[in-house]
Amino acid sequence: MNIVVCIKQVPDTETKIQINSDGSGIVTEGIKYVVNPYDEYALEEGVRLKEKFGGEVTVISLGPERAKEAIRNCLAVGADKGIHLNDPSFEGSDSYVTAKILAKAISEIPFDIILTGKQGVDFDNSQVFAYLANFLNLPFVSVVMDLELSSDLKSVTAKREGEGGEKEMIQIPLPAIIAAQKDLNQPRYASLPGIMKAKKKEIKNLTLSDLDFSADEVGEKGSRVKVKNYSLPPERKAGQIIQGEDPTEVCEILVKLLREEAKII
């Protein structure tokens, strides 16, 4: 079984993000980068499918040179091959263009199932997997919490989190795209033997010319979303604690504050 896992390298969620003085982007110095947490669930599921049904797992990522570290980490966990989409022209690509580049690269390798995270924790767009399905003309299921392949490997049944937290069961034919939610599994840690083996595994580098794109089709030039500037959200005001033993008195004070200060009633 040929399994493809799309991953993204993102800033660690514990990193304190700072904006450039001109608002053009974030300060990248000193940032610790990690594999996108939701993509770790996708990777774990891919490795489990390989262990159960055989085959190989190919990890693919679009990003600058530092993204190779994320790919190598995935290889240490159990992936077999890595593909790095790395070209200066790719920088600044929005979700649409990112998916277009990924689709082109994936279309040139064999695959039975494509796994992604449900969203990146940096921009939180939650769009790449849907665009990817459109470009590859494949069915997809998002926010997947459980996955079961048929015995003939021709279909997959996915349990997903629907609107309002309700659970839905969806069956679709393979090949297909699955966007993982955190409850899908428990990602494993890389073992020392896995880390050593990862150093010898292949990471194929693909550039603009390798994928037959023009510079106007990718990056900021090809993107449909244009970012004008970045800014941090305003700081929240400190909350108030209403003291008192009498619930009626406390409620009266609360209503007065909501009416006179918060002005929401």
62-113 confidence digits (pLDDT tens): 999 999 999 999 999 999 999 999 999 999 999 999 999 999 999 999 999 9
Torsion 207-211-213-218 (CA) sign: negative
Instruction: Check whether residue 46 and residue 150 sit in a common domain.
Output: yes
pLDDT in tens, the chain (265 residues): 999 999 999 999 888 888 988 888 888 888 999 999 999 999 999 999 999 999 999 999 999 999 999 999 999 999 999 999 999 999 999 999 999 999 999 999 999 999 999 999 999 999 999 999 999 999 999 999 999 999 999 999 999 988 877 899 999 999 999 999 999 999 999 999 999 999 999 899 999 999 999 999 999 999 999 888 898 888 888 888 998 889 999 999 999 989 988 888 8
- Could you tell me where the DSSP H helices lie in 207-246? 219-222
Q: Total structural domains in the chain?
A: 2
- The domain of 6 spans 2-222
Instruction: Check whether residue 111 and residue 151 sit in a common domain.
Output: yes
* Residue 7 within any structural domain of the chain: yes
Nearest CA among 17, 11, 21, 33 for reference residue 229: 21
> Tell me, what CATH number does 51's domain have?
3.40.50.620
* Residue 231 within any structural domain of the chain: no
What's residue 221's pLDDT? 94
* Residue 230 within any structural domain of the chain: no
Instruction: Check whether residue 155 and residue 245 sit in a common domain.
Output: no
* Residue 227 within any structural domain of the chain: no
Instruction: Check whether residue 106 and residue 9 sit in a common domain.
Output: yes
Instruction: Check whether residue 209 and residue 251 sit in a common domain.
Output: no
* Residue 229 within any structural domain of the chain: no
Instruction: Check whether residue 251 and residue 172 sit in a common domain.
Output: no
Instruction: Check whether residue 243 and residue 218 sit in a common domain.
Output: no
Instruction: Check whether residue 129 and residue 45 sit in a common domain.
Output: yes
* Residue 228 within any structural domain of the chain: no
Instruction: Check whether residue 204 and residue 241 sit in a common domain.
Output: no
